[in-house]
Amino acid sequence: MKVVFLFVSILFLGLFQLSLLSTCRIRNESVSVVTFFVSKGLKIRYLKGIVICFLTCLSSFLMGLALGGEAPSVYMSSLCFGLVFSFSRQDETRLTRAIKVGASVGFSLAFANPLAGIFYSFIPSKWHKSYFKNEYKLIIEGCLCSILGYLLYSSLKGLLYFNDYKGCFYKAFLFNEFNNSLFNLSLTSLSNYWIFVLIPLICLPLGYLFVHFLGILRFYHWKEKAYTYLISLLGALVLISLFRLYIPSCLGTGATIIESNLAYLEKGIVYVLELFFSRLILILFSFSSHFSGGNIIPTLSIGNIMGVIFSYLFSLALNLDSNEMLLVTYTFMLSFFCFVSNKREVSLALLFSFGPSLPLLLALLPSIFIEFFAEKYIKGFISLNKEFATRDIKNNSYAKTLWRHYPLYRREYEEIWERVV
């Protein structure tokens, strides 16, 4: 019975994802495209293209899972969840709001902590004075869906690993272990406070180089060739297979990687550096192929590994204890993400993904302030998403080549292209 229930659940979510994947491949224009298909209907002759699109996205998902980017499948499922429970009536408005709600659920599920999704629900896409007054329904939707989505996820986890939770099923609903370690941090971990002022000064240039370097690779890798997309996907899958054989620790989910990186130090700093460069190669390769898994978890994993390295170096100089090393690692990870994404509010939401820790919040504040001033006063300071978008706009033929994966007749192709452009 358990196997049948899981199979039906996976099939149900898979069908939802398939229908959305067939229309949401181009992220920035997904609302217009989905609205078109809602009004026109999904016809039989589209089946071939949907299968091609599904297989392509499946390859991307496999690559994303290897990178710890479970966000694609989580996000698409969350988007469906948001569509079902959205209080809005108009189709297009409902879709845009569902994306926001879906992102909130994604935050809850990615690190198995509903507090992150609840906090993210309060973050507006664009700040304006009347946001909380006019969008209170959207906030309620995000909070409710985050809680319901987490309960559903935990129930499925408990059912899937029923033997492990036998007699203590409630443990399936508890947070990850690294949440508990952050809960136990005290303010004494901030005794070397100057380190947390130094961290953003280190992360700022590293994040700047990381963003522009990825943008350059993406620009030269794509150009106008549609086949490079599939080549990169297949190449990344080959890399994943090799890494699985020789460096399996550089693969895995985001939570697993972040939870175990500190333990890697026991094998030596050389092992950590090997882990860093192997994972960086895979991320560079996948990002250059328009990896759609979201930049959050792969970027966090790189920041986490760098945090492990710098906490090790600081401990050599200052003889830090384990709690101080843990705080340095997580502060470095969130600071690096803050500068790479240029989204300080999301960094704060991610802080709740790891647990509401007061020492971690205080340690992160210098990075938040410096990122705010960097955005305003440093020329060329740009986020990873904006850098990618800039490259794509300069080479807008890439979007047209993506549309060739869809089985649209010429007239319908031109009609949709006029709508999204």
Backbone φ and ψ for 163, nearest 5 degrees, come out as -65, -35
How far apart CA 71 and CA 55 sit, in angstroms, is 18
| Rg for the chain, CA atoms, rounded | 22
Domain boundaries of the chain, sorted by first residue = 2-174, 180-394
Contact status, residue 179 vs residue 259, Cβ threshold 8 Å: no
**DSSP state letter for 382:** -
How far apart CA 33 and CA 209 sit, in angstroms, is 35
How many other CB atoms are found less than 10 A from the CB of residue 84? 11
pLDDT digit string, tens, across residues 384-413: 656 655 555 454 433 343 433 333 334 444
DSSP-based three-state secondary structure for 247: coil
Burial (CB < 10 A; 0-12, 13-18, 19+), residue 37, is middle
Distance set, CA 175 to CA 179, 305, 356, 360, 404 (Å): 6, 22, 12, 17, 43
Distance set, CA 256 to CA 14, 297, 301, 318 (Å): 24, 11, 10, 28
* Higher per-residue confidence, 322 vs 307: 307
Closest CA to 388 of 295, 270, 253: 295
* Higher per-residue confidence, 222 vs 233: 233
Range of weakest confidence among 40-49, 329-338, 365-374: 40-49
Give yes or no for residue 205 having a pLDDT over 50: yes
Phi/psi zone of residue 268: left (φ > 0), alpha (ψ -120 to 50 degrees), beta?
Answer: left
DSSP-based three-state secondary structure for 167: coil
How far apart CA 51 and CA 269 sit, in angstroms, is 45
Q: Which residues contact 367 (CB under 8 A, 6 or more apart)?
A: 199, 200, 203, 331, 334, 335, 338, 339, 344, 347
Give yes or no for residue 381 having a pLDDT over 60: yes
> Percentage of the chain surpassing pLDDT 70?
44
Highest-confidence range of 93-102, 198-207, 282-291, 397-406, by mean pLDDT?
A: 198-207
Please tell us whether the domain made up of 180-394 is placed in CATH 1.10.3080.10: yes
pTM, two decimals, is 0.68
* Higher per-residue confidence, 94 vs 23: 94
pLDDT digit string, tens, across residues 77-102: 444 444 444 444 455 555 566 667 77
How far apart CA 286 and CA 220 sit, in angstroms, is 14
Give yes or no for residue 248 having a pLDDT over 50: yes
Residue 121: what pLDDT? 81
